[in-house]
Chain A
Amino acid sequence: MGAESDSEPRSGVQAIDPDDVDAADILGSAIERREDPALLTGDAEYTDDIEMRGMVHMAIKRSQHAHARIDGIDTSEAEAMDDVVDVFTADDLDVPGNLPTGWLLDTLEQVDHPILAGERVRYQGDALAVVVAEERYVAHDAVDRIDVDYDRLDAVTDPADALDDDAPVVHDDAGDNTAFDWEIGDAEKTDAAFDDADHVVSLDLENQLLIPNAMEPRAAVAEYNPSNEELAVHMTSQNPHLHRLLMSGVIDHPEHKLRVRAPDVGGGFGSKIHHYADEALAALAAKRVERPVKWVATRTETYLTDAQGRGHDTTAEMALSDAGDILGFRVDTAANLGAYLSTFAPAVPTYLYGTLLSGQYDIPAIHCSVTGAFTNVPPVDAYRGAGRPEASFVVERMVDLAADEVGMDPAEFRRHNFVGEFPYQTEVAVEYDSGDYEKTLDRSLDLLDYDEFREKQAAAREEGRYIGVGFSAYIEACGLAPSELAGQLGAQAGLWESGLVRFHPSGKVTAYCGTSGHGQGHDTTYAQIVANELGVDYEDVEVVEGDTDEIPQGMGTYGSRSAAVGGSALVKSSQKLVEKAKRIAAHQLEAAPEDVEFEDGDVRVAGAPDRSMHITEIAQAAYLAHDMPDDMEPGLEATSFYDPDNFVFPFGVHAAVVEVDPDTGEIEIDRYVAVDDVGNQINPKIVEGQIHGGVAQGIGQALYEGAEYDDNGQLVTGSMQDYTVPKAEHIPEMETDSTCTPSPVNPLGVKGVGEAGTIAAPQAVVNAVCDALEPFDVDHIDMPLKSEKVWRAANAATDGGEN
């Protein structure tokens, strides 16, 4: 594994048994995840595990064409089959059935997004008809007997192609396929910076479409009680309250009679944020047949319908001085939005992308313009990182080219241009809360034995071996806030979070949070937070998420927001409990409220250590309510709606060391070093796991993954046999380390880690491959770096470009 090094890379975080940690130390300890036993033994309850009496199964007839007029749908054969309970099409719907988008932009062309296509289909997989049957297999067989009369139309799948004058028109309301035009930064100032530049580097690049591939496909079980109109939808959701709000409008069902519950969810990566047609169709089907309805997507269906990620065609230019200063940065992007506007689609290639284009650098002039394009691929939306990986990729590829242009070492060029003073106001609207960028760079150089590596690289080249190192100095923004700002930017929702902490009379605690974990380990980390704040045993804190019937309100889990926003809401509620507990204790201990102190779960009278009450005793007293202060209500629970003042900005440096064989185009990752600063860490083991998973997905994008369509908009990477999800053998050992720069904007000082890996990894690998192939004058290779592409690039000077 890589080079021998003087500095010891960490072998990884060792997990600790929670029994060995007390409440005072629980926050920040790497305890084992409490959710794992159920997940590993099969005791977990995924949506497909739900069985109900009288339950029927739903399957969906989907368009086989990417773009077609529908001249007729014949469902008679399906209806005639035994055990088919119901078949319906768009003609049978008596509800609005239009999926809204949750983010508006000034120039946004809002197009209809029907839950069942009636007259026209716009991507392969667009839903056409629904079958409900007694058995899952019958439902699928019946779907196969539905006869659709298509009049096929030309399709377009690439965003830049879609914006051409002669491109097929996806929506008649948007005749030029433009969904929006958006810009950020100062164009004039940036033009002036380019006029004054000694050097300009430019690059055309593609950030390819990716398929999310959550382990569990999307699924829903809907149950309806016609007597009281209660409708419950158990579904694979990252944000049940958001799904409830949107779905109540889509299917015209009152929000207070709609319950959305996320059972255990097997990964989301963004793909389970959005409101798709399918879950609403399951709810409608349950209302129609008045029996519980289950729908589980096949893997093939998820490939056709899960919102894909990325999909940018970008031209970037960077202006430089002889001294190696970045003077200006100009970015022009065509962003693929797919066939319809998905829930947060307009935000992803705009405010989650353009605002990050300063990277870790002090860039005095930036301008970015983005054109959103309708195409005949599935709706494109947030996928792990959502806009920020695209931004980091552009910045870090350009920085490498810039360093090369001015003849500086890539690490030193980065250091030379780093932001030094915080808070830092970028030229693209956001203000970085805190950071120390040299710290993570220095640590990564140390782990790499960087100077020695460069000597080895030169020696290897002498022998005809090509090794390279690539840096990725990334920035990410998470915990998008405050809500007022989000509203100004077009969000049709707030981005606060609610947390309810409730003592039970026996002294046990339940913490309810409006986030909705689906693999992140919130049951563990939230219990650590609350136990630490209240001074109670970690084992005595239970965490509840993901059910609109139990949680006051919530915004869900995405954008690495849970700890920073949800965790902070739980802190606020816990603090309210402590305040109330102190007043009750002061009353019962006959002391003035200002004379009691709270520490490690005990309320003590200052100066009289024997006079104290533990908070669990106080909880019991609060529910007995036999002896309470005047004007104080009984009980001990508190709710907070926490709205942060600002985003938080994690950062770090990832570096890949690769060897490339120019004769075959094969790439071997020798080392992968990740140094991240995600602020305070609630549980370092979980942080490490998030980095590992994110890096694996990022390497997947760099080397293997990509949704590919033919000229007709047919997905030709439509299964796991054709779309390369990396396997264990494809992912190198990772050497991880971290620094800690606490965030000043939330009470925990945390920043978020869920997306760091996907934001950081792709350009680390691509930069390393380009560094390895530097003797062959390779500036850039578009992802995924498949062997053939790499071979062509390395051999372009001889015959690789042509033959």
Chain B
Amino acid sequence: MEFDGTFSLSDVTTEEVWLALSDPVMVRNALPGCQFLVEVDDPDDVDFDALSEAAEDGEDPPTLPEADPEDVAERALEEGGHYAALVQVGVGSVKPRFETVVTIDRKEFPEMDASGYGSASDSSFEMDSGMTLVETDDGVDVEWWTEADVFGRVAQMGQRVINPVANRVVGRFFKQIQSQLSDVGEESSGLRDRIEGLI
């Protein structure tokens, strides 16, 4: 299955969006049904139960605009890095919990490519995705695409069910990013300039 789209964010700079979308904490917060998103060493040997417990007990660090941009840059997704996530998503009549591992294959401002797979009890997926940030007159367009192979019960529902789910998830994700970033430009602390300097 192929999905793609462009999401327009207003009153933001390319650098702010880049930093936000590189922030695993921001991504986790913005992604509906995502319990955690953490870096792992070995993508083939992930103890999701342990990570899940740790996430329940863990702190919830601040994100932009409250967070210090240096801290955010410090924890940013890295090219070649592997990240484990637990994502629960309602598809039609089922609500699979996908144990997901994502690898950042390429990260060169303003472009990022990732690949990964996720498995639930009766469904799974494999995906390649990417995004490019394009500056516009009043903000930034995030051009994104995903090629996914879906298996099992979710696949049986076909694109009729999956497309709206994908659109809903992506839409909610970017709306959340937009609302987080809308405050960045209004910060008086020169946050915008500091972020410019980081990238």
Contact = CB atoms under 8 A, between A and B. Distances in A.
Interface stretch (A3-11, A219-227, A715-723): A715-723
Contacts of B124: 64
Contacts of A64: 122-124, 151-153, 155
A718 B152 CA distance: 10
Contacts of A300: 153, 156
Nearest to A145: B121
A712 B149 contact: yes
Contact of A144 (B1, B122, B161): B122
A317 B93 CA distance: 48
B121 A715 contact: no
A718 B160 contact: no
Contact of A65 (B151, B156, B160): B151
B182 to A, nearest CB: 39
Contacts of B6: none
> Which has the most chain A C-beta neighbours within 10 Å: B156, B157, B159?
B156
A715 B123 CA distance: 13
A133 to B, nearest CB: 16
Nearest to A65: B151
Contact of A714 (B121, B122, B150, B160): B150
B122 A716 contact: no
Given A64-B151, A65-B151, A716 B121 contact: no
A476 to B, nearest CB: 34
B123 A722 contact: no
Interface in A106-154: 124, 144-147, 152
Contacts of A717: 158
B122 A722 contact: no
A722 B158 contact: yes
A716 B159 contact: yes
B157 A712 contact: no
A303 interface: yes
A144 B120 CA distance: 9
B151 A715 contact: no
Given A64-B122, A712-B149, A719 B155 contact: no
Interface string B86-128: 0000000000000000000000000000000000011110000
Contacts of A716: 155-156, 158-159
Main secondary structure of the interface of A (DSSP, over half): loop
A710 B155 contact: yes
Interface residues of B, number: 17
A270 B41 CA distance: 53
A712 B126 CA distance: 11
Which of under 10, 10 to 19, 20 to 34, or 35 or more describes the interface residues of A? Answer: 20 to 34
A712 B151 contact: yes
B193 to A, nearest CB: 49
A145 B97 CA distance: 12
Interface string B1-23: 10000000000000000000000
Contact of B160 (A144, A145, A722): A722
B156 A715 contact: yes
B86 to A, nearest CB: 15
Contacts of A146: 121
Interface in A704-750: 710-712, 714-719, 721-722
Contacts of A712: 149, 151, 155
A212 to B, nearest CB: 17
A300 B121 CA distance: 16
A152 B151 CA distance: 10
A721 B1 CA distance: 19
A714 B125 CA distance: 12
A706 B124 CA distance: 24
> Which has the most chain B C-beta neighbours within 10 Å: A124, A152, A714, A722?
A714
B151 A718 contact: no
Interface in B138-156: 149-153, 155-156
Contacts of A145: 121
A303 B121 contact: no
B153 A722 contact: no
Nearest to B155: A714
B166 to A, nearest CB: 15
Nearest to B159: A716
A380 B195 CA distance: 61
A304 B151 CA distance: 13
Contacts of A65: 151-152
A718 B151 CA distance: 12
B156 A719 contact: yes
Interface string B52-66: 000000000000000
Nearest to A715: B156
Contact of B151 (A147, A714, A721, A722): A714
> Which has the most chain A C-beta neighbours within 10 Å: B122, B149, B158?
B158
A718 B156 contact: yes
Nearest to A713: B151
B150 A721 contact: no
Interface in A22-72: 64-65
A300 B157 CA distance: 10
B44 to A, nearest CB: 11
A145 B96 CA distance: 12
Given A65-B151, A144-B121, A712-B151, A303 B156 contact: yes
A793 to B, nearest CB: 24
B88 to A, nearest CB: 14
Contacts of B161: 721
A104 B47 CA distance: 50
Contacts of B156: 300, 303-304, 714-716, 718-719, 722
Interface in A477-500: none
A711 B150 CA distance: 11
Contacts of B151: 64-65, 124, 152, 712, 714
Contacts of A714: 150-152, 155-156
Interface string B36-60: 0000000000000000000000000
A304 B159 CA distance: 18
A144 B121 CA distance: 5
Interface of B: 1, 121-124, 149-153, 155-161
Given A124-B152, A714-B155, A718-B158, 4 more contacts: A65-B151, A65-B152, A124-B155, A718-B155
The 4 A-B pairs at the shortest CB distance, nearest first, are namely: A718-B156, A64-B152, A714-B155, A144-B121
Interface of A: 64-65, 124, 144-147, 152, 300, 303-304, 710-712, 714-719, 721-722
6 contacts: A64-B124, A64-B151, A124-B155, A716-B159, A719-B157, A721-B157
